[in-house]
Amino acid sequence: MKIHLTINGKNYSHDVEPRLLLIHYLRENAALTGSHVGCETSLCGACTIELDGKAVKSCTMFAVQADGAKITTIEGLANDGKLHGVQEAFWNEHGLQCGFCTPGMIMASKQIIDRNHAPSDAEIRHGLEGNLCRCTGYQHIVNAVKAAAAAAGK
Amino acid sequence: MFPQTFDYTAPTTLDEAVKLLGGGAKALAGGMSLIPMMKLRLASPEHLVDLGRIKELNYIREESGALHIGATATHYAVESSPLVRTKCPLLAETAAAIGDVQVRNMGTLGGAVAHADPSADYPAALQALEAKIVLRGAGGDRTVSAAEFFVDAFTTVLNEGEMVREVIVPVDTSGVSYQKVPQPASGFAMVGIAARVKKAGGKVTEARIGVTGLTNSSFRATAAEKALEGTNGSAADIQKAAALVAQGSDANSDIHASADYRKHLAVVYTGRALIAAMGRAQ
Amino acid sequence: MATTITKTETLVGKRIRRREDPRLITGTATYVEDIQMPGMHYAAIVRSPHAAANIRSIDVKAAAAAPGVVAVFTGKDTEKVGPVPCGASLPDLRVPHHHIMAIDRVYYVGHAVAVVVATDRYLARDAADLLEIDYDVLPAVADPEKALAPGAPAVHPQWPDNTAFNYHQEGGDIAKAFADADVVVKQRITSQRLVPNAMETRGVVAEWRGADRQLNLYTSTQVPHLVRTLVAGMLGLEENRMRVIAPEVGGGFGSKLNIYAEEALMGFVAMKIGKPVKWIESRRENFLTTIHGRGHVDYYEVAAKKDGTILGIKLKIIQDLGAYHQLLTPAIPTLSVLMMPGLYKTKNVSADIVGVFTNCVPTDAYRGAGRPEATHGIERMVDILADELGMDPAEIRLKNFVANEEFPYPTATGLTYDSGNYAAPLDKAMALADYSKILQEQVEARKQGKLVGIGISTYGEICAIGPSPATPAGGWESATVKIEPSGTVTVMTGTCQTGQGEETTFAQIAADELGVDIDNILVLRGDTSIVQYGIGTFGSRATAIGGTALYFALQELKAKVKLFGAMLLESDDVTFSGGQVTCNKSGKTKGLAEIAGATYRAMKLPPNTEPGLVATHFWEPPNFTFPFGAHIVITDIDKETGDIAIRRYIAVDDCGNIINPLIVDGQVHGGVAQGLGQALWEQAVYDDNGQLITGEFMDYAMPRAHMMPWIESSHTITPTNVNPLGVKGVGEAGTIGCSPAVVNSVVDALSHLGVRHIDMPLTPEKIWKLANAGGTN
């Protein structure tokens, strides 16, 4: 099946099998390997991307379902070499260690701030329910989201 | 992580979808349950019909005293819809308790209902709301109550070739609450209680309690409802009613919670849901 | 003319953000799965659905003929590959031959039986389904105590008692200690099996360049050099023909401190098909086949005087080994024995370990590796003793601590504790918790029928592992520092980070020593063709040993820089600081770049000095380091549901000097999360048939953001004299200190109901039952 997508502002078009998962399309056909696969039960969130403005798990979606969609992946967040506020905050607050969950974590964090300009700690933690991190204990991630929200509000 | 091959069709009209389903295809809505099963090869449908592009299935609107919600309305759409939040807050509250943000962004009301996971959240609210579920098959629409619709674990009254088209919930002015004990790993409801209470003249005039997670299928705890109706809704009245919620139920048991503990949680959380609902009842 | 870089600010001790982060936050880092090569093939491994079975036959025909398939190999095809190595040696240890795939019998669910290689991952997976394997299913045993019972199914038929080893160690006079005791407390304490669950599963890419006899192996590992030495040996390949690269590694926690069958298997496949091949472990495979941690059943007895003085400790450990020995499997419980006295001065100990085979995936090192089990045990026992004697848990600890003036302190288990001030973190934690106030609050709460718990753990740990004689593969670490002709600095470390931030901390050390800007420093690791030999990152060793190796390499270089600087300045009285050599008489200076250029240009050399600016140091530590700390946890328990809410989590850790407080905090938080995971949620549960019930994130409860409490982390600082940096290590501290503090808190909340001990995880159902019935579980 032929599909057309806009990913990080660029047009992509490929002939794909219906069973190809969107995460595999992004990583292999589009060569955007920033989004990761950490499980097969849709419970780790490492593959989180933004699809038409919504954070979704790209491992739980077929590429054909995304035909015509506008996608932003971790690679598309920085603008002209300038980091997105959430990326900057993860860096400043040490919101990552091994980095494997980080792209998904940053995309989920962006969704939290997009929908709630001043999230509380509890709202941030609730908003990250779909993303597992084994390294940080989440505390520095919570700090990062708070800092990013505060910086965006300025 | 690698599903088996299948044919894929993404119709844009309901009629086309129904025709394809009649030919033995499997409906794909949000895919939040189906796709993980396909990745683990626990499910391998030969033909998927993607309902995602059928505009006439994606709506939330008010019509003659009820909210009509299309099958492909996402949990997030339900949770954030001003209409649902003001006119049927129990459903919005329940939608907000499902899975996680990403799941709510993709998962759909119709998909969740049709999947009939015994630990899903929605069924509790639909039971308590006495929702109607509109099914569409080759012969047209038929409407069933939530109580009839959910039969057993992953089993509903849907016939071969039939799909969920719409869910109808009443515009609801009761005091409501959804209280859930999440399974610690998956976040599914080990027990979920949806409660609605109406009061007038200091008496409980109507109580509705929907239960999920406890047994193989969601249900309305009618004995508990009856016990509460006509009382003052005091703490003692609530405790007495809640105690009946799990009576006679064949509770599920797994490594996360034994049957006895699940029953106990159902009682405790029914009490908590009723107290919260009572507090919100006018 | 020389532009000198003058740097006055020191970086060690500063909260600077990490240098590895830009690639990680932009999605441009390269993990194993991200590696693509022309002609890449993909492997799908077919695994046993049974915990014990004889393989009657395998029919590969249909799979081999499936679209895209280039090869199918079974265990028999790989018979010549050497066994997966066990690096641990114990007297009379039984070591089963651990072939890289099952040959005629499977020993646990997930045991590899065959590998299908195809041009596409989906096609490989499709073909894997076509393999026809006829199993003769046998009875299995998954519980170590059941495995020891007479008549239990034999995991390995040649050893019907399922016993891999018996180990005994004692110190002092244990019989006298128990004879002199006023009181003896006993308790069975378990540390359940856990699944490490690094977010990046394992993965291997193997590339065989036949004409060069060169095997390039990309693998997600903490120990690339050990992988090279040992996998080359398994494959019969000359070690210098193998290059191992650990690219970005997405977490390890000990689970990647190993040599895995798949590393050799992919090498084998690549050499057979002459094409690169990739295998990425699924999460399901990770649950089933990557090592698990813990798996202890411990029987404790503690003898004490009425005043709380601990006289002696007896311990019997039943260690669930699983079906095979992985790299360190049998050695892990011996670390528990070493750690068993905790921070307490008792000189009388007796320990026995029974290593038991079960039809489960092997256990091995998981964050803390033996030390969390020991700390959990002794810290629970001290609380039980305090309860028995009616003493305050803080008081009994303070009474038994090794005193400040007793360091270096030789322990009952043969260690020498380097330095300590054990009361300091406890005092600080108690002050932070407002201990006396919270005790009073607890009294009031109980009057109202509320359950409030206060739990203390004062832990010690064995870090900076370790002196070579005490380790299976050498316990030193290496560093090479190159100052390039232009003056930039490249550090090559034998450690191999999996998220710990060594690219930053090591650069901080080098920047300070050389007096150069941190941006001039690049830290490389994880490639056996770039880095001199190294041991790796585990056992809280990277900074304490690898950082020290770096420190000494830097001293050698500094001396050489000074020598060349003196030559260029034509002076015999110079100092090197701030990135330049200064003549103390004339005040003239030469910057590092100019000096570096001169060392390579080599127009003139100081006497007996070689050109170039490269130094390598292999540092052998004289001792372990012994960090310590105190965690206090305050819990509120919902009597109606058994839910545990952590009101406060206070962690005061003493890991010696701190290079980067931001990173240290991160290590503590992450460690506590894993400790809390064990205490409250996580458990690898096998049923009686050896099926892993909690084999996906659907059932294995990982700590998530909304489940974690706020961690109030602070420190006391007692430097070690084992290394010149004064650092002890912090990677495992949070995990080790956490679980006993949590369990002590919850037991404390229920103690007035007669509860003395609860085994982990503390599920709400267990707590509900105890809160409403009383008694121990």
So where are chain A's domains?
Answer: 2-76, 85-152
Strand ranges of the sheet holding C69-74, from the earlier edge strand across to the other edge = C69-74, C112-118, C41-47, C277-280, C203-209, C214-219, C242-245
Segment C134-153 mean pLDDT: 98
- For domain C296-466+623-773, give its CATH number from 3.40.50.2000, 3.30.365.10, 1.10.640.10, 1.20.210.10: 3.30.365.10
Q: Do B41 and C129 touch (CB under 8 A)?
A: yes
Query: Whose CA is closest to B6, among B22, B30, B26, B23?
Result: B26
Indicate which CATH number applies to the domain containing B46: 3.30.43.10
B37 and B118: one domain? no
Q: Do C694 and B258 touch (CB under 8 A)?
A: no
Provide the token pair at C173. Answer: 């006079």
CATH class of A2-76: alpha beta
Cβ atoms of residues C460 and C375 within 8 Å? yes
Mean pLDDT over the full length of chain C: 96
User: Where does chain C hold its CATH 3.90.1170.50 domain(s)?
Assistant: 32-138+201-249+256-289
Q: Is B101 on the interface with C (CB under 8 A)?
A: no
Q: Is C258 on the interface with A (CB under 8 A)?
A: no
The gap from C-alpha C730 to its chain's centroid, in whole angstroms, comes to 11
Please give, rounded to a whole number of angstroms, the shortest distance from the CA of A68 to a CA of chain C: 24
Q: Kindly tell me if the per-residue pLDDT of A123 is higher than 80.
A: yes
Cβ atoms of residues C68 and C119 within 8 Å? yes
Helix (H, G, I), strand (E, B) or coil at C145: helix
Task: Count up the domains in chain B and report the number.
Answer: 3
Q: Do B39 and A1 touch (CB under 8 A)?
A: no
Q: Do A39 and C283 touch (CB under 8 A)?
A: yes
Mean pLDDT over the full length of chain B: 97
The answer to whether residue B160 is domain-embedded is yes
Q: Which residues of C touch B185 (CB under 8 A)?
A: 681, 694, 697-702
pLDDT given for residue C3 in this prediction = 39
Residue C494 — very low, low, confident or very high, per pLDDT cuts 50/70/90? very high
Phi, psi (degrees; rounded to nearest 5) at C180: -80, -5
Query: Whose CA is closest to B267, among C768, C632, C15?
Result: C768
Q: Do A134 and C251 touch (CB under 8 A)?
A: yes
Q: Domain boundary at B170, B202, B223, which? A: B170
**Rounded distance between C-alpha atoms, residue C115 and residue C480, angstroms:** 40
Q: Kindly tell me if the per-residue pLDDT of C437 is higher than 80.
A: yes
Q: Kindly tell me if the per-residue pLDDT of C8 is higher than 60.
A: no
**Inter-CA distances, C573 with B143, C220, C561, C590, Å:** 98, 50, 14, 13
Segment B90-99 mean pLDDT: 98
CA-nearest residue to A95 within chain C is C666
The amino acid sitting at B167 is V
pLDDT given for residue A153 in this prediction = 86
The answer to whether residue B195 is domain-embedded is yes
Residue C472 — very low, low, confident or very high, per pLDDT cuts 50/70/90? confident
**Inter-CA distances, B129 with B123, B148, B182, B219, C143, Å:** 10, 13, 22, 11, 47
Segment C195-206 mean pLDDT: 98
CATH of domain C2-29+476-619: 3.30.365.10
pLDDT > 70 in chain C, percent: 98
Segment C562-572 mean pLDDT: 96
The answer to whether residue B121 is domain-embedded is yes
Indicate which CATH number applies to the domain containing B263: 3.30.390.50
How do C310-322 and C349-357 pair as beta strands? parallel
Residue C1 — very low, low, confident or very high, per pLDDT cuts 50/70/90? very low
Q: Do C199 and A98 touch (CB under 8 A)?
A: yes
**Rounded distance between C-alpha atoms, residue B43 and residue B36, angstroms:** 9
Span C307-347, pLDDT tens digits: 999 999 999 999 999 999 999 999 999 999 999 999 999 99
Q: Which residues of C touch A103 (CB under 8 A)?
A: 25, 27
β-pair partners for B59: none
Q: Which residues of B touch C700 (CB under 8 A)?
A: 185
pLDDT given for residue C116 in this prediction = 98
Query: Closest to B103 (Cβ–Cβ): which among A37, A40, A130?
Result: A130
**Rounded distance between C-alpha atoms, residue C614 and residue C686, angstroms:** 53
Provide the token pair at B259. Answer: 């049957």
Please give, rounded to a whole number of angstroms, the shortest distance from the CA of B3 to a CA of chain A: 6
**Rounded distance between C-alpha atoms, residue B45 and residue C714, angstroms:** 55
Question: Which A residues, 84 through 143, put their C-beta within 8 Å of a C-beta on chain C?
Answer: 87, 90-92, 94, 96-103, 106, 121-122, 124-126, 128-129, 131-142
Residue B282 — very low, low, confident or very high, per pLDDT cuts 50/70/90? confident
Indicate which CATH number applies to the domain containing B117: 3.30.465.10
Q: Which residues of A touch C282 (CB under 8 A)?
A: 40
Segment C395-409 mean pLDDT: 98
Helix (H, G, I), strand (E, B) or coil at C58: strand
How do A2-7 and A70-72 pair as beta strands? parallel
**Rounded distance between C-alpha atoms, residue C180 and residue C221, angstroms:** 50
The amino acid sitting at B146 is A
Q: Which residues of C touch B253 (CB under 8 A)?
A: none
Span B32-62, pLDDT tens digits: 999 999 999 999 999 999 999 999 999 999 9
Which H or E run contains C455? Answer: strand C451-460
C587: left (phi over 0), alpha (psi -120 to 50) or beta: left
User: Where does chain C hold its CATH 3.30.365.10 domain(s)?
Assistant: 2-29+476-619, 296-466+623-773
**Rounded distance between C-alpha atoms, residue B238 and residue C404, angstroms:** 60
Q: Do B268 and C640 touch (CB under 8 A)?
A: yes
Span C150-178, pLDDT tens digits: 999 999 999 999 999 999 999 999 999 99
The answer to whether residue B2 is domain-embedded is no
Mean pLDDT over the full length of chain A: 97
**Inter-CA distances, C382 with B81, B177, C138, C225, C415, Å:** 56, 45, 44, 41, 21
Burial B26-51 (b: 16+ CB within 10 A, else e): bbbbbbbbbbbbbbbeeeebebbbbb
Percentage helix, strand, coil for chain B under 3-state DSSP, each rounded to 5 = 35, 30, 35
Segment A69-92 mean pLDDT: 97
Q: Is A2 on the interface with B (CB under 8 A)?
A: no
CA-nearest residue to C692 within chain B is B255
CATH class of A85-152: mainly alpha
Which H or E run contains B149? Answer: helix B146-149
Segment C110-132 mean pLDDT: 98
Provide the token pair at C618. Answer: 């292999």
B184 and B251: one domain? yes
**Rounded distance between C-alpha atoms, residue C380 and residue C632, angstroms:** 14
Residue-range definition of the domain harbouring residue B236: 175-280
Q: What is C32-138+201-249+256-289's CATH topology?
A: Aldehyde Oxidoreductase; domain 3 (3.90.1170)
B158 and B187: one domain? no
The amino acid sitting at C629 is G
Cβ–Cβ pairs < 8 A, chains A and B: 83
CA-nearest residue to A92 within chain C is C17
Residue C9 — very low, low, confident or very high, per pLDDT cuts 50/70/90? confident
**Inter-CA distances, C570 with C317, C559, C576, Å:** 67, 16, 15
**Rounded distance between C-alpha atoms, residue A63 and residue A15, angstroms:** 10
> Which residues neighbour B225 within 8 Å (Cβ) at sequence distance 6 or greater?
B207, B208, B209, B241
Q: Do B48 and A45 touch (CB under 8 A)?
A: no
**Rounded distance between C-alpha atoms, residue C549 and residue C479, angstroms:** 5
CA-nearest residue to C713 within chain A is A139
Q: Domain boundary at B170, B192, B223, which? A: B170
Residue C466 — very low, low, confident or very high, per pLDDT cuts 50/70/90? confident
Strand ranges of the sheet holding A54-57, from the earlier edge strand across to the other edge = A10-15, A2-7, A70-72, A48-51, A54-57
Q: Do B39 and A55 touch (CB under 8 A)?
A: no
> B interface toward A at CB cutoff 8 Å?
1-8, 10, 28, 31-32, 35-36, 38-40, 48, 50, 52, 76, 99-103, 105-106, 185-187
Q: Kindly tell me if the per-residue pLDDT of C775 is higher than 60.
A: no
**Rounded distance between C-alpha atoms, residue B49 and residue B63, angstroms:** 29
How do C41-47 and C277-280 pair as beta strands? parallel
**Rounded distance between C-alpha atoms, residue C598 and residue C568, angstroms:** 8
CA-nearest residue to C17 within chain A is A92
> C interface toward B at CB cutoff 8 Å?
121-122, 125-126, 129, 282, 284, 640-641, 681, 685, 693-694, 697-702, 707, 763-765, 768
Span B147-193, pLDDT tens digits: 999 999 999 999 999 999 999 999 999 999 999 999 999 999 999 99
Q: Domain boundary at B170, B186, B211, which? A: B170
Q: Kindly tell me if the per-residue pLDDT of A154 is higher than 80.
A: no
Q: Is C22 on the interface with A (CB under 8 A)?
A: yes
Percentage helix, strand, coil for chain C under 3-state DSSP, each rounded to 5 = 30, 25, 45
> Which residues neighbour C151 within 8 Å (Cβ) at sequence distance 6 or greater?
none
Same fold yes or no, A2-76 and A85-152: no
Please give, rounded to a whole number of angstroms, the shortest distance from the CA of C503 to a CA of chain A: 12
Q: Do A19 and B4 touch (CB under 8 A)?
A: yes
pLDDT given for residue C6 in this prediction = 47
Please give, rounded to a whole number of angstroms, the shortest distance from the CA of B237 to a CA of chain A: 33
